[in-house]
Amino acid sequence: MKVVIVCVSVSHGNTERVAEVMAGVLGARVVSPEEIEPADLDSCDLVGFGSGIFGMDFHPRLLRFVEELPGEQRRKAFVFTTSGLPEPPFRRYLRRLARLLGHKGFDVVGTFSCRGFDTWFPFRLVGGIGKNRPGTADLDAARRFAERLTA
């Protein structure tokens, strides 16, 4: 199975650590949106899309990449994220990206989210939140999630 993970991880490397754990299980390579062309996804059996959360949404670079994908994709995908706070019930960003991928023809087979170290203002004033996250338990959960994707 050919797998690629498209990931944006800019603040503390939280999301990249999760992506690397998943990549190890899936035998995938992790790339940024700028390192891959949409046509390169044509040969993939499974594509992961992930970033940290910025302003209660996925990183703009990842969203722009997905929005620019052609609409005829016919492959499986998964979505993942790290964030300082849990996903609020009034702003379901995982569901929003999964829906956007569905409009592009992807079959989203799973989503994964865990907490990450966050120093976004005002959290910076108290030294950040989610220190030591993602931790061992979070990375183990990411590994189990990736294992389920191969089943």
Domains and CATH numbers, the chain: 3-150 (3.40.50.360)
Which of 40-49, 66-75, 81-90 has the largest mean confidence? 40-49
More confident: 12 or 139: 139
pTM over 0.85: yes
The pLDDT of residue 104 is above 90 = yes
Percentage of residues in the chain having pLDDT higher than 90: 56
26-46 pLDDT per residue, tens:
999 999 999 999 989 988 999
- Min mean pLDDT across 46-50, 59-63, 67-71, 144-148 is at 67-71
Pair of tokens at residue 126: 């108290």
Give the model's pLDDT for residue 3. Answer: 96
Cβ–Cβ under 8 Å, residues 142 and 112: yes
Q: Average pLDDT of 47-71?
A: 90
Angle at 46 between CA 58 and CA 49, to 5 degrees: 10
Query: In angstroms, how far is CA 39 from the centroid of its own chain?
Result: 20
Q: Average pLDDT of 95-103?
A: 93
The pLDDT of residue 126 is above 80 = no
Nearest to 73 by CA among 45, 97, 49: 45
